[in-house]
Amino acid sequence: MSDTTPEQIDALARAAARAHEALLATDGAERAGWLRAVADSLDAAVDELVQLADQETALGETRLRGEVARTTGQLRLFGGVAEEGSYLEAVIDHADPAATPPRPDLRRILRPVGPVAVFAASNFPFAFSVAGGDTASALAVGCPVIVKAHPGHPLTSRRTADLVAGALQNAGAPEGTFALVEGYDAGLALVDHPAIAAVSFTGSVAGGRALHDRAAARPTPIPFFGELGSINPVVITRSADESRGDVLAQGLAGSFQLGAGQFCTKPGVVFVPRDSTVAEKLPSLVGQAPHRMLTESIAAGFHRGLEHLSQVPGVTVVAGAEAPDDSAAPVVVRADAATLAEHADTLFDEVFGPLTVLIDYDDEQQVTSALSNLGGSLTGTLHAEDGDDVGDLVAALERISGRVLFQGWPTGVAVTWSQHHGGPYPATTSQHTSVGATAVRRFLRPIAYQDAPASVLPAALREENPLGIPRRVDGVLQP
């Protein structure tokens, strides 16, 4: 398939704009039916999809089957979100002439922003790709979606898109509700098109920042929701290391090597007490076999990052093996807090792949000081024991992370109502999550109706509440 042409981009964007007008008249239950139809279609084709994806990504059947299940689970979750209705944040304040000043009848709701451009990720060919969480959350609230396929898995993308489009059409979704485009220039044209109302992206800091700036530079700027880079620091207290260092070493080994380290939540830097059990045991738990990376550029970036780290005075490679240019073998490097303080820019530079950096510290102050120099991350993890005074450490992790974990490992992101997958820049470019129920908030804008006749109000704001959704009326929450 050749790259999508500018003329095709224009036609697809215009069709999405027309679909947006039609989608404004749909309700959550109707859209939930569409999402469940897509999920059923993907589940029915799981064998074919996994085979295609494994050929293109080398992620393995077990991982990919689990990812298809996660993807269809996300679709069904967002169907439930659309039906339940609290995402609309419907609020009614009845008129009160006796108030000071007099209050008109005001009714507020969240409405879909319009067509959304979704840039698929390389490391999740299903869950963050064509039918992934961004697509599901946008469709759930009535935003048409045009996906920019990732070049790392084109065959998987095209087949998934065929299934999504077919399921939506058979379920009765308007023409233009969903489309797929391919090619670097096509992605830029999509961001530039006046019909596109928002952009979501998962990928590198450099690529995401370029698209973010482009979206902001349009004659009419639009919001850009990017998930970019993340170090995901881990702190292990001395008492935790002493009481269960062997177990922690095993957990860390499994987490940073999972999926060849190609997870946005991979623990990239781990603070351990000097002479720790974790640092002693970890090298023996590191594999030697190279793993083919998702793309040649990711592999090249891994080798460049490793080279930069290994050239820093005071940094030692304590585990690792040679790997071909298109592959990576797991690597552990080690330095102390003084070296980190002098070379933070390099040691805190994300290396995407199976590499983690151990930092030996002498006291908690060295850790909190180092964390203050770290950019935003999706996660921050703390391993401590009962009785440890960890208030300052927790506060330091809260300042730079979107999710703070205790006694676990950051790889693995549950798709739930309460999940938050985001963080300060460069982890993400907004305050909203890209995983879980509230991911829909990215693609909604508030609108208030003042003294509006009932005939023009959205159903969610009508007095009789025909949708039966949660609302706040005159300041009182009504489930």
Catalytic: which of 67, 227, 350, 364? 227
Of 286, 388, 298, 386, the closest CA to residue 334 belongs to 286
DSSP 96: B
Q: Which sign does the torsion angle of CA 285, 289, 294, 299 carry?
A: positive
Q: Check 83, 264, 350, 364 and give the catalytic one.
A: 264
The secondary element (H helix, E strand) that includes residue 91 is: strand 91-93
Q: Which burial class, exposed, middle or buried, applies to 437 when counting CB atoms under 10 A from its CB (0-12, 13-18, 19+)? A: buried
264 is annotated as an active-site residue? yes
Q: Which run of H or of E encompasses 305?
A: helix 296-310
Angle subtended by helix axes 391-400 and 364-372, to nearest 10: 20
CA distance 84 to 73: 16
Cα–Cα distances (Å) from 256 to 75, 90, 191, 265, 266, in that order, read: 28, 43, 34, 9, 5
Q: What share of the chain is helix, strand, coil (3-state, %, to 5)?
A: 45, 20, 35
Cβ atoms within 10 Å, residue 445? 13
- Sequence length of the chain is 479
Residues labelled catalytic: 227, 264
